[in-house]
Structure 1
Amino acid sequence: MRLLRTTTHPDINNLCGRSFHRQAARGIILNGENILLLYTERYHDYTLPGGGVDEGENLEQGLIRELMEETGAANIRDIKAFGRYEEFRPWYKDNFDLMHMESFCYICNIDEVLGATQFEAHEIQNGMKPMWMNIHKAIEHNEHTMANSDKKGMSIERETFLLKLIVKELLL
């Protein structure tokens, strides 16, 4: 899958430390200029639905499971690779120095009607909810959050980059 971007947290001076590798699968689901996103109240941002791939899953299986859990999506189909976003972040757990995170993004289609979500406890606590959003308004919203919030991090930068690339490459 093509590499879209590599980012490194400013606190990381070298990539030679003990690293934890995490793979995530993220869905790009468009309906005209509307895109299915997750809004997280705690961080006041919009993100692509998806998340970590579990042990024993391949990327597409992880994508389908995450979309079903986070959005209630059904009949996930026509899955096509879009690109991979790679990031290196500090990691302070389990005796690791950094996390190597790879987000594999896929374009796909789903049935129009969303079913019930199956959020994890921390996702409920963070106020996460799926919604269709105009992609331009989502970008504007995330940019405003990055400029005006102390809650920003590498995730919102990744998501805003991906949303802008989706506009550039998929909304012709």
Structure 2
Amino acid sequence: MRHIKTTIHHEISSLESQRITQRHAARAIVLNGDDILLLYTERYHDYTIPGGGIDIGEDVMAALIRELEEETGASNIRNIQPFGRYEEYRPWYKDDADVQHIISYCYTCQIDNQLGETRYEDYEVKNGMKPVWMNIHQAIAHNEHIMQNSPKKGFSVERETHLLKLAAKELLER
């Protein structure tokens, strides 16, 4: 899978002598014309691509399908194609490490347009997460506004906005 980008959070001056924990994630880019399936998060007032952590021993494709079903209620997930790998290093605030290295495996796929029931984890409910179909260009503009103006922006908005821009450029502007 092609490497899209690696980022290091501005609070991390160097990776040398840091205790690093690794997290693997699968993310789904689902387009329907210029609309994309996203997750709106009320806590951060941003839009993210559905996906999440790959469980120990879980296949990447199985994780992608599980996360997409859980977070959006998607069904009939098909035509899964690799899009790229995005890596990031973020501060980690637990005792086992100083830095978290997140490796996101991103795929395009198709689903049935009608969404079913979601199965959110407690923190997702508390964050006010909900699936939405939205124009990809509006989502990009919204996230860019959040990045520039919101003091409560989440860590993931920069990754998400980069992936949205790349998807718009490579998948829509053909």
- Using structure 1 for the length normalisation, give the TM-score: 0.97
1: distance between equivalents of 2:171 and 2:108?
10
Match of 1:162 in 2: 163
Q: Note the C-alpha offset of 1:111.
A: 1.2
Letter in 2 for 1:39: Y
Q: How does 1:37-116 map to 2 (within 5 A)?
A: 37-116=38-117
- The separation in 1 between residues aligned to 2:57 and 2:95, in whole angstroms, is 21
One-letter amino acid matched to 1:69: E
Question: Following the alignment from structure 1 to structure 2, what is the Cα–Cα distance between the partners of residues 6 and 153?
Answer: 18
How far apart are the structure 1 equivalents of 2:155 and 2:42?
A: 17
Residue 136 (str. 1) matches residue 143 (str. 2): no
Structure 1's consecutive aligned runs of 4 or more residues displaced over 6 angstroms after TM superposition are: none
Extract unaligned runs of 5+ from structure 2: none
The gaps in structure 1 that reach 5 residues or longer are: none
Matched residue SS, 1:107: strand
Q: How far off its partner does 1:44 sit?
A: 0.3
Following TM superposition, by how much is the alpha carbon of 1:12 offset from its aligned partner in structure 2, in angstroms?
1.3
SS in 2 for 1:104: strand
Partners of 2:93 and 2:99 lie apart in 1 by 7
Mapped to 2, the partners of 1:73 and 1:59 lie a distance apart of 17
CA–CA separation in structure 1 for the residues paired with 2:64 and 2:126: 22
CA distance in 2, matches of 1:128, 1:152: 15
The whole-number CA distance in structure 1 between the counterparts of 2:148 and 2:91 is 22
Q: Which residue of 2 aligns with 1:13?
A: 13
State the alpha-carbon separation in 2 of the partners of residues 84 and 152 from structure 1: 23
Paired AA for residue 150 in structure 2: S
- Offset of residue 75 of structure 1: 1.1
Alpha-carbon distance in structure 1 between the residues aligned to 2:88 and 2:148: 21
Q: How many positions carry a matched residue from both structures? A: 172
- 1:4 is matched with 4
Q: Cα deviations across residues 4-59 of structure 1 (Å, max 9, x unaligned)?
A: 00000112122231111001100000000000000000000000000011111111
CA deviation map 1:84-126 (0-9, x unaligned): 1100011121330111001110000111211100001110111
Instruction: Find the aligned partners of 2:117 and 2:131 in 1 and give their Cα distance.
Output: 10
